[in-house]
Amino acid sequence: MTEPTFAGQVSRWYEQNARDLPWRAPDVTAWAILVSEVMLQQTPVARVLPAWQAWLDRWPTPAALAGDSPAEAIRMWGRLGYPRRAVRLRECAVAIVERHGGDVPDRLEQLLALPGVGTYTARAVAAFAYGQRHPVVDTNVRRVVCRAVAGEPDAGPATRPADLAATEELLPAEPAAAALASAAIMELGAVVCTARSPRCGVCPVEASCAWRASGQVAPAGPTRRPQRYAGTDRQVRGLLLGVLRESTGPVPHRRLDQVWADDVQRARALAGLVTDGLVEPVGETSFRLIGDGPPAPVVS
């Protein structure tokens, strides 16, 4: 009997051990998968689950979101972090309605042309929503392939063409099997072949893993640490957005001044929100979420 391939071993493990996540349901829409992929960028699954469901309850189709304001998208995004994703997701919904009649396109080049959809997200939607054969490479996949195939402890900080090529070589030729393998490799990296505490004893490819065979040599460079949040501009931006999300209509500048004592840092954070298209000035003394009401007067 032929020995199962790397993809076959991981796929078999996935079918028996995959987490029960709602965007993996067989009847889930391409739009729901697209929303999940955008939300899951730099955000843990536990935080995404309730936000994803609430988002789809309100906007079950791209047309529903496209018909609402960017301010409402920012409000619904809540505290998931990196709120510009909410604005880009709405821009994506508008483009889907205008270019594709409200249906998420199934061709990779069309997905890549959507606002806010990059290399990873486009391939993820093509594979997971439409069962196509594309290498879907995120941090977890890069780590699994780097360890199991190259014998290295970890991958670099960003996806390279070589990572796509190495992953594609592992995929079966049949599209549906390749899509399953893509999901399986990603899941393996998320729950077993983790960065800090890999559970090699339960890994389905332990026997053939090049890194395991090398004695699990540790990384040569320093271990990456989580980014600090307290006291950063990100924290100040979040506090400012919190006030604006909970308000209807323009918020006076003096109200925003109360959220952070450092005038210079607060002004810098607010200016960054305006530059990023999340907030807009109303006159000279107030601010609001972008698109939250009639067009703001031009400030000369």
Q: What amino acid positions are annotated as catalytic residues? A: 37
d(CA 10, CA 15): 9
- Tell which residue, 48, 58, 59, has the closest CA to residue 22: 48
**Please, what is the angle between helix 70-77 and helix 45-58, to 10°?**
140
Backbone angles phi, psi at 176, to 5 degrees: -65, -40
Q: Residue 81: left (phi > 0), alpha (psi -120 to 50), or beta? A: left
Question: Tokens 């402890």 label which residue?
Answer: 153
Backbone angles phi, psi at 251, to 5 degrees: -110, 125
Contact 22, 96 (CB under 8 A): no
- Tell which residue, 240, 221, 228, has the closest CA to residue 278: 240
The string of DSSP codes covering 75-110 is HHHTTSS-THHHHHHHHHHHHHHHHHTTSPP-SHHH
Q: Residue 267 belongs to what H/E stretch?
A: helix 263-275
d(CA 55, CA 75): 11
Residue 82 neighbours by CB distance under 10 Å? 14
Residue 75 neighbours by CB distance under 10 Å? 18
The encoded tokens of residue 75 equal: 């409000």
Contact 140, 186 (CB under 8 A): yes
DSSP 3-state assignment of 298? coil
